[in-house]
Amino acid sequence: MSDPTPAFPPVHVYALAHRCTTCGAEPGQPCDAPRKEADVDNLMEQRHQSGLPQLEWDSLRLMHARRQDAGRRHLERDEQNAPQPADRVPGRRYDTLG
């Protein structure tokens, strides 16, 4: 089980907060990635036809790689600048997303 009040938001939230340098999506806007969307649609359709339950897609899947990288780097920077896990105040967030 994961901590209900993590010190940092998940990486896809970080990635979404960055402008995408690949497709030019503004912060908060999804990537313009029709091929990625089509891939996910195909997979969903295959699962549906095979009688498999649908998955909840990680929204990172629909973002361009460079935007994901920007989000990861930002998260790593925040983690490095935050206090050590033992010194953190429970329930407090240490991200710089504002």
Residues in CB range of 47: below 8 A, 6 or more apart: 53, 54, 55
In the block, tokens 């939230």 appear at: 13
Residue 20 or 75 having the CB closest to Zn ion: 20
Among 7, 15, 17, 20, binds Zn ion (CB under 5 A): 20
Residue 7 or 75 having the CB closest to Zn ion: 75
Dist CA 37 CA 5 (whole Å): 31
Is 43 one of the binding residues for Zn ion (CB under 5 A)?
A: no
Show the site string, 51-70: x = touches Zn ion by CB under 5 A, - = not. -------------x------
